[in-house]
């Protein structure tokens, strides 16, 4: 017999017990506790998390009104998807579509002008971009609204004729203001960033590099971030090294290649 599939809304009252899908096997980890704390302050801003469940948690969607979104996108009256993720063992069962449809229905019920999402193909890096690709969203009626370096796309599903969101465009200026050295910009939006920063700190220590960590305090900081991803970036000497966590080896390879260029 097929298991019953339900969609659970995470909110102020059940977040402690339900969690938020990611890192659910490590609820005592610093990253998990930090995200939970972050999340509790976001519900009043309209952030939603929906988890798809069929006897166990199989995936989730997280989204927020653009005015409070933690991605570097500008616009009005849109809903912005932060994350959509289905467990690799549950891919292809229709769960991603159900979560996306639930988000679209919610955005329409709130009289939004549409839904936007930042996607990435990974560009020429060949590395996991920490964002879904655009194809799935295109299948669901999203269209390309804007692009940002190195490989970000802003996909939108419009409900009306009002202006669609866009990326800011002043990336070089945003990046250069951080100056020289190794800088990590991070937030508590993703529980995996905590470990990632620790790894970068260890690598910096091994290589005798000074590391400066910048914590994003609110969604305005994220909208002003030097990469469209908003919530995480590694900079080296005023240039974007990566918008997502890296292994020690990849981090050093990229620093060396930037030093040579």
Residue ranges that bind ligand COA, judged by CB under 6 A: 83-86, 91-97, 130-133, 135-136, 139
Instruction: State the minimum distance, in angstroms, from the CB of residue 216 to ligand COA.
Output: 17
Q: How far apart are the first and last CA of the chain?
A: 59
Q: Measured from the CB atom, is 38 or 85 closer to ligand COA? A: 85
Q: What are phi and psi of 242, to 5 degrees?
A: -165, 150
Q: Are 101 and 128 in contact (CB under 8 A)?
A: no
Instruction: State the minimum distance, in angstroms, from the CB of residue 205 to ligand COA.
Output: 29
Q: Measured from the CB atom, is 75 or 96 closer to ligand COA? A: 96
Instruction: State the minimum distance, in angstroms, from the CB of residue 181 to ligand COA.
Output: 29
Instruction: State the minimum distance, in angstroms, from the CB of residue 129 to ligand COA.
Output: 7
By beta-carbon distance, which residue lies closest to ligand COA? 96
Instruction: State the minimum distance, in angstroms, from the CB of residue 110 to ligand COA.
Output: 22
Burial of 56 (0-12, 13-18, 19+ CB in 10 A): exposed
Task: Give dist(CA 35, CA 151) in Å, integer.
Answer: 26
Half-sphere exposure for 81 (CA within 13 Å, toward CB):
32
Q: Measured from the CB atom, is 157 or 182 closer to ligand COA? A: 157
Q: Measured from the CB atom, is 137 or 167 closer to ligand COA? A: 137
Can you say whether the dihedral through the CA atoms of 20, 25, 28, 30 is positive or negative? negative
Q: Measured from the CB atom, is 130 or 178 closer to ligand COA? A: 130
Q: What angle do CA 39, 188, 175 make, to 5 degrees?
A: 135
Q: Are 208 and 235 in contact (CB under 8 A)?
A: no
């Amino acid at each position: 017999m097929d298991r019953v599939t339900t969609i659970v809304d995470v909110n102020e009252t059940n977040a402690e017990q339900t969690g938020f899908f990611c890192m659910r096997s490590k609820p005592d980890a610093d990253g998990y506790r930090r995200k939970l704390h972050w999340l509790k302050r976001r519900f009043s801003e309209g952030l939603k998390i929906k988890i798809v469940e069929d006897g166990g948690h199989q995936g989730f969607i997280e989204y927020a009104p653009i005015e409070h979104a933690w991605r570097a996108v500008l616009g009005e009256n849109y809903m912005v998807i932060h994350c959509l993720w289905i467990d690799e063992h549950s891919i292809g069962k229709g769960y991603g579509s159900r979560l996306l449809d639930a988000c679209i229905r919610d955005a329409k019920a709130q009289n939004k002008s549409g839904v936007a999402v930042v996607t990435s193909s990974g560009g020429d890096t060949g590395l996991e971009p920490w964002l879904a690709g655009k194809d799935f969203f295109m299948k669901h009626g999203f269209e390309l609204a804007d692009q940002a370096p190195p490989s970000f796309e802003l996909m939108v599903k419009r409900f009306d004729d009002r202006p669609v969101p866009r990326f800011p465009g002043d990336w070089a200026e945003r990046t250069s203001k951080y100056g020289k050295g190794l800088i990590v910009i991070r937030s508590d939006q993703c529980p995996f960033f905590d470990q990632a920063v620790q790894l970068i700190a260890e690598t910096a220590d091994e290589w005798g590099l000074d590391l400066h960590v910048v914590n994003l305090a609110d969604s305005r900081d994220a909208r002003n971030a030097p990469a469209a991803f908003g919530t995480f970036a590694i900079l080296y000497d005023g240039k974007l090294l990566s918008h997502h966590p890296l292994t020690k080896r990849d981090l050093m390879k990229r620093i060396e290649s930037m030093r040579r260029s």
